[in-house]
Chains A and B, each alone.
Chain A
Amino acid sequence: MNENLKEILTRKLIIVTGKGGVGKSLLTASLGRIAAATGKQALLLELGETRRMADLFNRPAAAGCELQTLAPRITGLACDYDAAQEAFAISILKLKILYHALIRSKILKNFIDAIPGLHDLVVLHQVWRLLNPQESGEPTTDLLIMDAPATGHALNLLRSPDLLRSVIRVGPVRRILNNIVELLNDRRQTIVVCITQAEDLPVTEALEFIESVKRRLNLAVGPIIVNNVQGITTEGLEDVASRSRAELEHLLSADARLNPYNEDIATVLAAHELLRNRLRIQKRHLERIARSGHPYLITPLLEPEQSEADKVVALAAWMMNPSHEYVTA
């Protein structure tokens, strides 16, 4: 397997982010499949109310907040925020009864909702608990892959422990904060992977996100994964696609058998024209990534008929193929 991919998988925590719509959930699931293929036990964590992982593994949606087996050696957890908050509060308050009394009056809930840093803390605390089973009693896993929010929110999430540390200096919350900071800053344990696609805003956001992380946080950053790249799954396609319409018309006119089919040729060339233009746009944005100096891996736009679950398998296979190299700086 590709060395860079192996390197990502040596971590305990992989945080997957990227602009909405680029395939974050797909890639999270694919990384899970790759981890499982290498013999590791992977836990895929989804935040908030989205529950896509079950779909991506052709499993029924899990009810409530429980670990769900998605595939051999792959478990999923789609905990809604309320459950994570309860666990957080109980780890501080120690008494479940007390927590439920508070919740009933909605005070604590509103309080945590009102302090955004604390909100993120609840999420990160959940991650920490899942990776420290001896302390939390959660089942063990080798690796946790988090389907994190889009880059803007992800940055806030990752910055929140540092921001809170200036405001909360003592007490049980401070202890939790310290644990989380230690986990995130440990470059052998944690890595952030940004997914993008070769389009204007996604690339801009990916590059800005990575710069922000490098500048403000002490977090290991993995290669960028550029998803939905067209023209790389069929040999010779990129070459044909780059030829001009005039050139192609000329080449085709040389074959007399095609002469009666001018209309059909025009139609086929219209499809070619659209692809050629899309590839031109794609190339422009891939070049931006290349110029940035960040290592990256490209993953293909997949067959349109494939189900989401099949796409996950196809992407995993693509990434594990040793001939699909990362582009390194």
Chain B
Amino acid sequence: MATATRNNSLIELLTTKKVIICCGSGGVGKTSLSAALALLAAMHGRQTLIMTIDPARRLASALGLSALTNRQSPVPEEELQKAGIALSGVFHAMMLDAKRTWDELVARYAPSDSVRDKIYNNEIYKNISGALSGSQEYMALEKLYEMATVYTYDLIIVDTPPSQNAIDFLKAPVKMSAFVGNSRFFQIFLSPGMRAGKLSWKMFSSGSASLLKILEKITGAEMIRDIAEFFSNFEDMIAGFGHRAQAIDDLIHSPACSFVLIAAPEGPSIKDALVFKQKLDELGLPFWGVILNRVMPRLPKTADLRLIAAPELSDQSHQASKLVDLLMKIYELQQRKVTVEERQIAELRNRLGQTLALKTIPLLPVEVNELTVVKRLTELIEQL
């Protein structure tokens, strides 16, 4: 009796999901592949948005991203025409600006313009919005949530920020909700004494007072005051943030969402992929599988042409044989790389199990910095 195999094709993924989050460590080609996935979806009739973070200049320009940040815009028609692309769907692109996303959130939830401005001008806020570790990842999720709820895209593809390890993206929500939701932390800073601008120790229980003394000692009182002011202004927004954090969490856990890991066919990248899978399992997040990018193309076996063209007495044959020697070296080097990669791919296949998808995309002879090349990628992806 035949068992039905799960259809793990990329086309199926692209035509059935509402959100696809592409994770992976730095340098694996996440942005290029995300763009190709989005383009393919649009070519298949879906109204698609790609959210990128840090595209290379030429690709950004091809996607129409050079002018606008943090706002979606259609990929320019002339770029599509240049690449000979006819869309039956819609293809929009957006470049995330994490700091602006923070500012937009503050503007959205601040109870008044003056509170909003106080926050914008607060020293702590200026530091936090730009550089809070995990902030860029969390802002990507915030923006995703906004795009998914305010607009009517069929599919949103998220190109996640570059990171050391694929898993870094998954830590952001946890860090942010710890930051926002730790009530005792906020209690201290939001108490009346702090809000009045005075560090009136007598107003607190002995526990909090010694804690504040310590923090004051560590940082210098001025910073405590900055923090207090920041949090007291922030207080009204915390409930909003909290609700939102929960809604985002629900979105990424839903069956309409899927995580895709992009990796390189190299030892360290594959190890990283397995750590990522484990984390996804722990968090109960929907995992489609892995795309191994820039895989060395396999070539047919050949005879050793060096033996055929062995040097004889003539000078000319000597030249030819040197040439053949070098050409065979180039060929063999590619085949050796293929062999090593195939071993790694088999290992990954083993460790991923049979239900997760594992696809490979070959190394291209050109850089992915134009829509013609992105289109070429879609042709490869379509068959997977």
Contact = CB atoms under 8 A, between A and B. Distances in A.
B283 interface: no
Contact of A116 (B25, B131, B182, B333): B131
B223 interface: yes
Contact of A264 (B164, B220, B226, B302): B302
Contacts of B282: none
Interface in B266-287: 267-269
A172 interface: yes
Contacts of A89: 218
Contacts of A240: 323, 326-327, 330
A274 B367 contact: no
Contact of B179 (A20, A105, A114, A202): A114
B191 interface: no
B217 A304 contact: no
A92 B326 contact: no
B331 A272 contact: yes
B34 to A, nearest CB: 14
A179 to B, nearest CB: 16
Interface in B96-120: none
A121 to B, nearest CB: 11
A241 B27 CA distance: 25
A102 B179 contact: no
A237 B326 contact: yes
A270 B227 CA distance: 63
Contacts of A173: 218-220
A217 interface: no
A281 B366 contact: yes
Interface string A138-172: 00000000000110100010000001001111111
A258 interface: yes
Contacts of A241: 330
A227 B155 CA distance: 38
B369 A252 contact: no
B25 A21 contact: yes
Contacts of A263: 300, 302
Nearest to B323: A251
B184 A257 contact: no
A119 interface: yes
A168 B134 CA distance: 24
Given A113-B133, A200-B369, A21 B28 contact: yes
A234 interface: yes
Contacts of B358: none
A252 B28 contact: no
A61 B241 CA distance: 39
A275 B226 CA distance: 57
A105 B184 contact: yes
B309 A237 contact: no
A287 interface: no
Interface string A97-111: 010001001111011
A268 B27 contact: no
> Chain B CB within 10 Å — which of A106, A152, A236, A274 has the most?
A274
Given A116-B133, A167-B123, A20 B162 contact: yes
Contacts of A265: 305
Given A107-B185, A251-B323, A255-B309, A277 B211 contact: no
B185 A167 contact: no
A7 B227 CA distance: 44
> Chain B CB within 10 Å — which of A115, A174, A265 has the most?
A115
Interface string B206-241: 000001001101111011001100000000000000
A239 to B, nearest CB: 8
B149 interface: no
B150 to A, nearest CB: 29
B211 to A, nearest CB: 6
A54 interface: no
Given A251-B320, A267-B300, A102 B211 contact: yes
A117 interface: yes
B308 A237 contact: no
Interface string A35-72: 00000000000001110100000000000000000000
Nearest to B28: A21
A19 B26 contact: yes
A258 B218 contact: no
Contact of B184 (A107, A118, A167, A204): A107
B376 interface: no
28 contacts: A19-B162, A21-B27, A21-B28, A89-B218, A106-B184, A107-B184, A114-B179, A114-B227, A116-B131, A116-B133, A168-B220, A171-B220, A200-B367, A200-B369, A204-B57, A237-B330, A240-B323, A240-B330, A251-B323, A252-B323, A254-B316, A258-B320, A261-B305, A267-B300, A268-B302, A271-B327, A271-B330, A304-B336
Interface of B: 25-28, 54, 56-58, 123-124, 127-128, 130-133, 135, 162-165, 175, 178-179, 182, 184-185, 188, 211, 214-215, 217-220, 222-223, 226-227, 264, 267-269, 297, 299-300, 302-303, 305, 308-309, 316-317, 319-320, 322-324, 326-331, 333-337, 339-341, 363, 365-367, 369
